Chain A
Amino acid sequence: MPEIVTVEDLVEVYSDGTKAVNGISFSVNDGEFFGFLGPNGAGKSTTIKVLTTLLKKTSGKVVIAGNDVDKRAEAIRKVIGVQSQDTVIDQDLTGEENMMLQGHLHGMGGEALKARVKELLSLVGLSDVAGRRAGHYSGGMKKRLDLASALVHSPKLLFLDEPTTGLDPQSRAAIWEYLSKLNKEQGITIFLTTQYMEEADKLCQRLFIIDKGQVVASGTPESLKREVGADSITMTLEDGAAASETKDRAKQALGGIPGVGNIIDSDGGLTVYAKNAGLIIPDIVRTFDSNKIRLTSVSFASPTLDDVFLQHTGRRIRPEELEAKSQTFQRFGAARRPARQ
């Protein structure tokens, strides 16, 4: 498959000296559903800005659909569609007018544009409200309109920066369905960033995880999860005066247990990886007991992309996502057991 995006040694240094992107390289194949993940401030949005011609890169090479981003920005703009993180639509215009304007800016017009707008509005389920002002739409409808307006000119490559952030589960599922359809039926290459690991897992064929401006992992969701190699066991310890000292002792104790892999200290507690969590947990509990370390909870799950992310960045994707994460646990049928003391 030919490459539609080629990025080599991309560096972006802001005028204040901040290195937002520090030498990343990757490529996206034509027709691929590509996921670009990273914690906040990792350099995702900066990379997208460079790729979509909004920001001049400091150094490196970026080629989109055969066009160098420095020399042929105009040609790139003709073949890409972009949905930014914040929903951007004109609230004073109707849904249809928003779409028409976007088409006009792409040099389209006449009956062809009208037909295209009609088709897209029906694809995202907004035909009934096409004549109403977009300012009156719900959050989910606005997102859908924004997405549809990025598609007016039939782009070959679609950049989506967190397209479902802030949406309710139902709207999110609807967007996932459109995106799958676009990718599978129309062969549009999709470049997606998201903070929802479930979304990346469900949609993307290949993932790149970046952190602090650099690529830290890449592969298919399956291979990345396989690389984690084991179930994750997450435990929280009793808070108290000597919390950090307790944590250090716990880490030491865990290190002595055979079969325990990587130990990660995150805001969600201590996480370790082990081939067979069910057999290791009693060992952990016994060891902690004899070392007088008090556990407040312990749970385990088969690896998810959250674990991949945690392993490579040392962080959960976002603290406020922890709640959603515990629901994921339940969905995967993992047990949440109280610690034996």
Chain B
Amino acid sequence: MSIVSDTYHLFIRALKKLVRNPILLFFSLLQPIIFLVLFTQLFSRFVETGLFPAGVTYLEYATPGILLQNGFSSALQSGTSIVDELNSGMLEKMLVTPVNRSAILLGRLVTDAFRVGVQSSIILILAYILGFNVATGAGGIVLAIIIVAFFGLAWSGISLAIGLRTRSAETVFGIGGVLTFPLLFMSTALVPVKAMPTWMADVSSFNPISFAVNAVRDLSLPSAFSGATIASAFVVIGAIAIVTLGATLYLFRKVVK
């Protein structure tokens, strides 16, 4: 199957490019690490307000949020790579070969998911050192990473679509940057709904980040594991993925034609 082997080769290529630009990799991890260390110190006494789930440290509460934040902002950079391929002529160079068309996009998406997965693992290890634990064990860790990676994949679609549409890396970065903070802070990533003003709590309850964060939190916190939260996260992320990847596919087809 050429789609499998083509995707594989393009994935390997993208990995080599990632590893060979360690500075980029380093900086994209720097932000979540700073969040992890600073926020969990700065807000450590917030849990005393009683607005947080009982018996949970702020580190335990916020780590799932920081995982999602990383997946989110890292995915939003995905579009810059397709802009690069478009403008350098690399995409055309691929398109004159018999390479499977879908594999070009798939290779990109697999790389993004993989990258988010690796970054999540690094954040989890660091959080573990600071005292974070995943209550549901190894299976929970794997499922949490899958949720974060799937979430990243859905948002990659937005970034890729913007990249394909505008052919400008600056625009991709700009829109990504503008979206990140409002969406992050108006979600349950860092603070529970109870601690928010009503309007923000309303926004938060529709915010897809909240759904994903709640699912990861369900896996990590000792108390309440509910399959419904996990399922609803997958439904919400899946719906986003269908829209964003659909748009990406549509725009990619236009470019390929």
Contact = CB atoms under 8 A, between A and B. Distances in A.
Given A84-B89, A84-B92, A88-B93, A104 B5 contact: yes
A193 interface: no
Contacts of A105: 6, 9, 94, 97-99
A114 interface: no
Contacts of B9: 101, 104-105
A239 interface: no
A318 B99 CA distance: 37
Interface in B68-124: 88-90, 92-99
Is the contact region of chain A dominated by helix, strand, or loop, or is it mixed?
loop
B16 A84 contact: no
Contacts of B96: 52-54, 77, 80, 82
B161 to A, nearest CB: 20
Interface string A29-71: 0000000000000000000000011101000000000000000
A74 interface: yes
B21 to A, nearest CB: 7
Contacts of B95: 53-54
Given A74-B98, A78-B98, A97-B16, A88 B257 contact: no
A54 B9 CA distance: 22
B45 interface: no
Contacts of A88: 88-90, 92-93
Contacts of A104: 5-6, 9
B49 interface: no
B226 interface: no
Nearest to A83: B93
A54 B92 contact: yes
Contact of A102 (B5, B6, B88, B97): B97
Contacts of B17: 90, 92-93
Is the contact region of chain B dominated by helix, strand, or loop, or is it mixed?
helix
B90 to A, nearest CB: 6
A169 interface: no
A133 interface: yes
Contact of B13 (A77, A84, A86, A90): A90
Interface in A74-112: 74, 77-78, 80, 82, 84, 86, 88, 90, 92-93, 97, 101-102, 104-107, 109
A86 B87 CA distance: 10
B198 interface: no
Contact of A82 (B5, B93, B99): B93
A52 B97 CA distance: 9
A194 B82 CA distance: 29
A315 to B, nearest CB: 27
B13 A93 contact: yes
Contacts of B94: 105
A193 to B, nearest CB: 15
Contacts, number: 58
B6 to A, nearest CB: 7
Nearest to A77: B98
Contacts of A86: 88-89
Residue from B9, B16, B96 with most neighbouring chain A CB atoms (10 Å): B96
A93 B92 contact: no
Contact of A77 (B16, B97, B257): B97
B97 to A, nearest CB: 4
Nearest to B100: A105
A107 B2 contact: yes
B24 to A, nearest CB: 11
Contacts of A78: 98
B63 to A, nearest CB: 33
A84 B89 CA distance: 8
Residue from B5, B13, B16 with most neighbouring chain A CB atoms (10 Å): B13
B154 to A, nearest CB: 27
Contacts of A101: 9, 13
A153 B97 CA distance: 10
B251 to A, nearest CB: 15
A92 B20 contact: yes
Residue from B5, B90, B95, B257 with most neighbouring chain A CB atoms (10 Å): B95
B90 A90 contact: yes
A97 B16 CA distance: 10
A102 B20 CA distance: 19
B88 A106 contact: no
Interface in A214-270: none
B1 to A, nearest CB: 11
Given A82-B93, A84-B93, A97-B16, A92 B21 contact: yes
A52 B98 CA distance: 11
A161 B5 CA distance: 30
Contacts of A74: 98
Interface of B: 2, 5-6, 9, 13, 16-17, 20-21, 88-90, 92-99, 257
8 contacts: A77-B98, A84-B92, A84-B93, A86-B88, A105-B6, A106-B97, A106-B98, A133-B20
Closest 3 CB pairs of A and B: A88-B89, A104-B9, A105-B99
